[in-house]
Chain A
Amino acid sequence: MSTMTKFETTDKHRFLLNMGPQHPATHGVLRVILEMDGEYAMGIDPVLGYGHRMQEKMAESRTWPGFYPNTGRMDYVGAMPFNHGYVALIERMAGIEVPERAEYIRVITSEMNRIASHLLGIGAYVLDLGAFTPILYAFDDREDILDALEDITGSRLTYCYYRVGGVLKDIDDTFIKRTRAFIENFRKRIPMYNDLVTGNVIFIKRTEGVGIITADMARRYGATGPTLRGSGIAYDIRKSEPYSVYSHFDFDIPTGKNGDSLDRYYVRICELEQSLRIIEQALDKLPDGPVLAKPKRAKLQEGDCSFSVETARGVLTYYLVGDGSEVPYKLKIRVPSYSNLSLLEEMCTGMLIADLVSAMGSLDLVIPEIDR
């Protein structure tokens, strides 16, 4: 967070405008300093750090199991994959085998969490553009997921359900029935979202051709997730570096064509169905057996280890350096929204401020994840 702006304007027609840190369209405490020429944003300088908690320092000052609950408190909207990445990182480092049933449960819960996160993302985005109703429908469906997950994990948002070597406890028949009922119900609701939002003339006018991200830009900034896939690149860690049991399932990677806000929104809509497909297959194939390998307290080996997972917003990489003790010597947490937001300046310079709100909302930012 720097209070000094980089703009030194002498042009008397230009003025500085503060968007945030408390602004509905920033979805959290993010501040963007805009150098305005009338209604056009000619300079953009995001100011981060209002929610900074120094997670990486916390990781270095406690043992590796002690840091685990923190991982669910960065992206509070889609916390499961953050948990998943951390336990999988330790498992990779220690060479711990995970029972297959536990891996299936991880995939089911992670995908449900992804749907919940996308529903919030879509609902809040449309709300940014002035439509109030869709978020109420989205929250209605999301509530079903949160209730089901609360039943088995004990939490609604900041999960701490996975364990190194498996998951905390097995899922029961109630959860399976509830999930199957949700899938059936939610399949019928997806066309409704399309009728309500996707085909809406005002929505299309606000999003089509706004905030274009090219493949080259994505590469230079490291944009991932739906933000990248909207630009037509089918890149998903679940396919390219398959972790857990994702390689057992048949699913597609939806992509857009133009890389505009509309494509990014529509990729999220399409991913809802793909997540449903994964959950369905996982429930059908769910093997029997234990869900937790014998817990092991161990020192981290000397050397580095990296693990990447696909969160609802893109690639999350944990990079851990061990020095032979129980405490991580270094843990770098590479969060997707951080890289996705960093291209804002290039994407939005010269844009109308109303379009900037549309383009920024389409990145589906979660600020506590960026600030860590």
Chain B
Amino acid sequence: MSLMKNTLDILKSGSFDVAESDYKKCGYHLEVKLTESQVRDFAQAMLDCGFYIDFVSAVHVTPCFQVVYQFAHFDEACRINAKAMANAQGEIPTICDIYHGANWHERETHDFYGVVFTGHADLRTLLLSEEDADLKPLLKHADKLVNVETITRKSGGDAEMKPVKKTKEEQTAAE
């Protein structure tokens, strides 16, 4: 527990918006909300505290991309999930010179979403081929795209999943 408390204190003193979360329900211990300009300072703080990088990814929502960073620690159970909104042009600073493993994760996110990691020296396609560089397969169609509020966990809300009502055809098929 001490590592988690220490990290919480360090992040709070660095004026990051950090809160404890329910590990049993969401699978991480601390949740951090970052602004675009805090991303690099946060990554440096994580490295100084000895965390390793789990992944970097993004979610396509309105108003713009939500970039997700996850870190965990080799010594104690402490998983940290950080979210930052990219700017209106879909740009966010790179952390690949701080965490070298972020290099491929950022290239992949650029492949799938077109998020531009400013300062990244090598945003060539990684998993997609060059002719598909403009495909951006994980961008949502306009009818599926939701606001960032929709995919945010409601605090105090019921955590239970709602059962799906069977359609008439399925009911008759079951009978």
Contacts and interface: CB of A to CB of B under 8 A. Distances in A.
B101 A220 contact: yes
B52 A219 contact: yes
A343 B100 CA distance: 8
Interface in B54-82: 54-55, 57, 59-60, 68, 70, 72, 74-77, 79, 81
A326 interface: yes
Given A296-B163, A323-B146, A49 B129 contact: yes
Given A56-B138, A303-B26, A317-B54, A1 B130 contact: yes
Interface stretch (A67-75, A148-156, A257-265, A304-312): A304-312
B24 interface: yes
A297 B161 CA distance: 9
Contacts of B60: 330
Interface stretch (B34-42, B85-93, B119-127): B119-127
A297 B163 contact: yes
B21 to A, nearest CB: 10
Task: Name A's interface SS.
Answer: mixed
Interface residues of A, number: 62
Contacts, number: 172
A49 B51 CA distance: 28
A330 B28 CA distance: 17
Nearest to A298: B161
A322 B130 CA distance: 31
B168 interface: no
A92 B26 CA distance: 7
B126 A299 contact: no
A321 B153 CA distance: 10
Given A1-B129, A215-B74, A308-B79, 18 more contacts: A2-B126, A3-B130, A4-B130, A56-B112, A93-B161, A218-B52, A221-B100, A221-B101, A222-B53, A300-B161, A304-B151, A307-B27, A308-B27, A315-B72, A317-B54, A319-B55, A330-B138, A332-B55
